[in-house]
Chains A and B, each alone.
Chain A
Amino acid sequence: MDAINQTTAAPQAAWGRVRRSRYVADMALKVICILFTALGAFVLGWILLMLIYEGVSALRPEVFTGTTPGPMTKGGGIANALVGSLILTFLGIVVATPIGVLAGTYLAEYGKGSKLAELIRFVNDILLAAPSILIGLFVYTLMVQPMGGYSGWAGGVALAIIAVPVIVRTTEDMLRIVPGSLREAGAALGAPLSKVITMITWRAARAGMVTGILLATARIAGETAPLLFTALNNNFWFRADLMGGVANLPVMIYQFALSPYQNWRELAWAGALVITLSILALSIVARLIFKKDTSR
Chain B
Amino acid sequence: MVALSQKLLVTSMEKPSRRSPQLSFDQVFRLASLSSALIVLIVLAGIIGSMIYGGLPAFREFGFGFITSSVWDVQRDQYGAWVAIVGTLTSALIALVIGVPISLGIAIFLTQLCPPWLKRPVSTTIELLAAVPSIIYGMWGLFVFAPLFAQFVQIPVSSIVEGLPVFGTILYARTPSGVGVLTAGIILAIMIIPFIASISRDILDQIPPVLRESAYGIGCTTWEVVRHVLLPQVGVSVIGAIMLGLGRALGETMAVTFVIGNANRLSPSLFDPGSTIASRIANEFNEAIGLQLNALMALGCILFLVTFTVLVIARVLVARVKMR
Contacts and interface: CB of A to CB of B under 8 A. Distances in A.
B32 A102 contact: yes
Given A129-B314, A250-B135, A257-B139, 13 more contacts: A26-B223, A33-B109, A37-B110, A102-B37, A106-B33, A106-B34, A107-B37, A123-B44, A129-B247, A134-B47, A168-B40, A254-B254, A276-B133
Contacts of B217: 7
B132 A44 contact: yes
Contacts of B297: 137, 141
B63 interface: no
Interface of A: 1, 3-4, 7-8, 11, 22-23, 25-26, 28-30, 32-37, 39-41, 43-44, 46-47, 50-51, 54, 98-103, 105-107, 109-111, 116-117, 119-120, 122-127, 129-135, 137-138, 140-142, 161, 164-165, 168, 189-195, 197-199, 218-219, 221-225, 228-229, 232, 250, 253-254, 257-258, 268-269, 272, 275-276, 279-280, 283-284, 287
A131 B278 contact: yes
A227 to B, nearest CB: 10
A192 B139 contact: no
B128 A135 contact: no
Interface centre among A134, A161, A269, A284 (most CB of B within 10 A): A134
Interface string B291-310: 00000010010011001100
B289 interface: no
A197 B30 CA distance: 10
Contacts of B46: 138, 142
B138 to A, nearest CB: 8
Contacts of B224: 22, 25-26
Contacts of A133: 251, 253, 278, 281-282, 300, 303
B247 A40 contact: no
Interface stretch (B4-12, B150-158, B163-171, B265-273): B4-12
A105 B312 contact: no
B285 A103 contact: no
18 contacts: A22-B221, A26-B221, A29-B108, A37-B126, A40-B125, A40-B129, A40-B194, A102-B32, A106-B33, A106-B36, A110-B30, A131-B304, A141-B50, A164-B43, A189-B8, A195-B26, A224-B254, A253-B139
B144 interface: yes
Nearest to A12: B219
5 A-B pairs with least C-beta separation:
A131-B251, A222-B133, A36-B105, A26-B221, A102-B36
B17 interface: no
Interface residues of B, number: 100
Contact of A275 (B33, B34, B133, B142): B133
B29 A197 contact: yes
A133 B250 CA distance: 11
Interface string B102-118: 10011011101111100
A141 B108 CA distance: 44
Interface of B: 1, 4-5, 8, 12, 22-23, 25-26, 28-30, 32-34, 36-41, 43-44, 46-47, 50-51, 53-54, 101-102, 105-106, 108-110, 112-116, 122, 124-129, 131-140, 142-144, 190, 193-194, 197, 212-213, 216-217, 219, 221-224, 226, 244, 247-248, 250-254, 257-258, 278, 281-282, 285-286, 297, 300, 303-304, 307-308, 311-312, 314-315
A40 B126 contact: yes
B307 A23 contact: no
Contacts of A141: 50, 53-54, 297
Contacts of B114: 37
